[in-house]
Amino acid sequence: MSEHHRSTPTRWQDLAPGDRVFVTGYREVTPYVERVRALGLVPGTEVEIRRRAPLGNPIEIRFRGYSLAMRPIEANDVLISTSGE
């Protein structure tokens, strides 16, 4: 028997360092989204939240061996959930 886990959409601003999420898609395809897709930030990719600046801008994420700093306005174009399914 396999257990099905529901994907729970979440927001970047609700995450803390150490949290892990999965990319599920994009709000809209912008030049920034095209760039992060080229880096491998595609649906199904697991992302770890590494650090947040004191005022929450930017956040540092880690995926596929890369570290990337993202401003919240850019991060919001990348949709995420707590489950990779």
| Domains of the chain: total | 1
pLDDT one-digit tens code per residue, 56-66: 689 999 999 99
Report pTM: 0.83
What CATH number should be reported for the domain holding residue 46? 2.30.30.90
Non-local CB neighbours of 20 within 8 Å, separated by 6+ positions:
46, 47, 48, 49
Domain span at 55: 9-81
Query: pLDDT value at position 55?
Result: 79
pLDDT one-digit tens code per residue, 5-43: 455 668 898 899 999 999 999 999 999 999 999 999 999
Q: How far is it, in rounded angstroms, from Cα 49 to Cα 43?
A: 17
Cα–Cα distances in Å, from 4 out to 1, 7, 26? 10, 9, 24
pLDDT higher than threshold 80 for residue 4: no
- Is 68 a member of any domain? yes
Phi first, then psi: give them for residue 72, nearest 5 degrees.
-55, -40
- Is 4 a member of any domain? no
Query: pLDDT value at position 81?
Result: 94
